[in-house]
Amino acid sequence: MTSDPLAWLDDRAAARVTAGLRRRLRPRAAAATSLDLASNDYLGLTRHPEVIAGAIEAVHRWGAGSTGSRLVTGTTTEHELLEAELAEFTGFAAGLVFASGYAANLGAVTALAGRGSLIVSDAGCHASLVDACRLSRARVEIAPHRDIAAVRRVLATRGEERALVLTDSVFSADGDLAPLAELHRVTRAHGAVLLIDEAHGLGVRGTGGRGLVHETGLAGEPDVVVTATLSKALAAQGGVVLGAERVRAHLIDTARTMIFDTGLAPAAVGAARAALRILRRDRGLPRRVLDRAAEIARIAGVPTPDSAVVPVILGDPRVAYEAAAACRAQGLEVGCFRPPSVPEGTSRLRITARADLSAADLTVIDSVLTPVLARARSIGAVPV
């Protein structure tokens, strides 16, 4: 028995350093000093004057905090307006706003599944859905990524009365799309509910950015529930669950991350409403995101993506980390995803497009990214 009960932390830290998996926080400056291809600000609205004004106006009206949980003092008329606007925009009957997208997933999954039910989750689902499965107390089966046949087999042989199938619409690390139409046919045929996380689809896919669920004709279906975040395309903070009115009512009664968490701050609600107004007005924003993503993919020498996410797989975590650092040293911020965020052997630069990238920005991206990737690929011997 050791005299230091936390000595094991030092051993774990040393092992992570050796494997090239140590993380560090890097506070960013208030004024941009580099070109951002790492954030999820897909529409480039975080610093939009109307979005900032929306946040300020909400603070002046409601104060800095929401003061309590949604069921006590944490609901304002601003919250309910945002819920109605998001539901109408995405094609659902009702919405319920949570303090974060993570909380929305935890709340929705644990409220819609429990002991004696089944969850079938795509292997590529976001960590928030993974954690929701763990907390649900349901039987959980992990289906291989985008494998419709595997989902069908599990549902066809289940003994549970209730089943919930989970998927991202746009997967956050690879940027690929879920086969939503086929997945819905399978879930409906087997009496299951399909829950889709639109975190990376809202504002990027679908007519006017209404999301991949809307694009595939599933919006408003009674056996479809959608979660989304307000912190990506909508440039704010928070999450939302969208579905039928009875789903909203059930979550208000049972979703622990709504009942026991402080409501979303007024500033975030006001900012999200303003961003949604801009998205409604400028219907070309989603197309511009995809066009910029295609240009970045061409520069990086990878296939054209179906979303704002451009993954550049380099394999070794140290190679990926050094490539990201080399980009940063030259004024280009890119994401670096390593295990456990991605599978072993698939460490990568995760580059994200923004609608407001200019031709001059693309020239800078080319001048930095091309030589950095050439060197990284020569070291890692990862084929293009």
- Per-residue pLDDT reduced to its tens digit, 357-373: 999 999 999 999 999 99
Q: What residue spans define the domains of the chain?
A: 49-281, 284-380
Kindly state the average pLDDT of the residues 176-185. 98
Segments of the chain assigned E as strands: 35-37, 94-98, 117-122, 139-143, 162-168, 193-197, 224-229, 239-243, 309-315, 332-337, 347-352
Which has the higher per-residue pLDDT, 333 or 24? 333
Give the pLDDT of residue 133: 98
Q: What are the tens digits of pLDDT across the range 199-229?
A: 999 999 999 999 999 999 999 999 999 999 9
Residue 121 burial (CB count, 10 A): 21
Torsion sign across C-alpha atoms 166, 170, 175, 181: positive
Q: How far is the C-alpha of 114 from the C-alpha of 285, rounded, in Å?
A: 40
Instruction: Sheet containing 35-37: give its strands across.
Output: 35-37, 332-337, 347-352, 309-315
d(CA 27, CA 235): 19
Q: What is the architecture of the domain spanning 284-380?
A: Alpha-Beta Complex (3.90)
pLDDT tops 80 at residue 1: no
Residue 381 pLDDT level (bands cut at 50, 70, 90): low
Predicted structure pTM score: 0.94
The amino acid that residue 323 corresponds to is: A
User: Per CATH, is 49-281 categorized as 3.40.640.10?
Assistant: yes
Q: Residue 17 and residue 136: Cα distance in Å, rounded?
A: 34
Same topology, domains 49-281 and 284-380? Answer is no
